[in-house]
Amino acid sequence: MSLFKQILNAIDSPELEANSNQLSSILGTVQQLSNSNSNSANYNDIQSAMSIIGNFTRSALREKRSVGGGERVQQIVNQFAGTQASPLAVQTLFNSSQLQNMIATISNKTGLNSQTINSLLPILVPLVLNFLKTGNNPHNARAANPVLNNFLDTDGDGDVDIADAMNMASRYLGR
């Protein structure tokens, strides 16, 4: 099942945290970033960057899961998901090699320079985690998060559909 279908299922489930306001907040932050004069990133660049960040996030969270278990991964998502900048989220998830590879990949795909990418990462990483947090059960912290589990347990084809989820969320919200 695609990531967005999992998110829609979470929105439809009264037991899970997801709601339209959460999606709207994520999309609003992306739009605000793309409209900002302080960086040279447009909406498409940011979507591309989020897909790449999603791929690296999947790898990093899988590593964290293999060492600390599923509870550690859920703890990271809960701690850092949001729409506010969090340099600590970037530091917690990625080692310096992963970070360098991610920046180079984003730069190659979007043409953005490393300084711009470094300024965006503390905002975009929490947004990716916020998508994953939609599957939380606020009434039972130990319950499985189906969005996060789907994200981590996909077939490993390297295709992280964060950008697709953003496009579908825009259509779903009528933006």
Question: What is 18-69 written as a DSSP string?
Answer: --HHHHHHHHHHHHHHHH-TTS---HHHHHHHHHHHHHHHHHHHHHHHHHHH
pLDDT, residue 86, reads 97
Q: What is the mean pLDDT of the chain?
A: 88
Tell me the whole-structure pTM to 2 decimals: 0.88
Nearest-angstrom CA–CA distance, 15 and 115: 41
Residue written as token pair 């997801």: 18
CA distances (Å), origin 32, targets 44, 119, 124, 162: 13, 14, 12, 18
The answer, yes or no, to whether residue 3 has pLDDT greater than 60, is: yes
pLDDT, residue 158, reads 46
Q: Where are the domains of the chain?
A: 3-172
The answer, yes or no, to whether residue 66 has pLDDT greater than 60, is: yes
Determine the average pLDDT of the residues in 11-36: 88
pLDDT classification of 143: cutoffs 50, 70, 90: confident
Nearest-angstrom CA–CA distance, 53 and 58: 8
pLDDT classification of 129: cutoffs 50, 70, 90: very high
Determine the average pLDDT of the residues in 95-110: 97
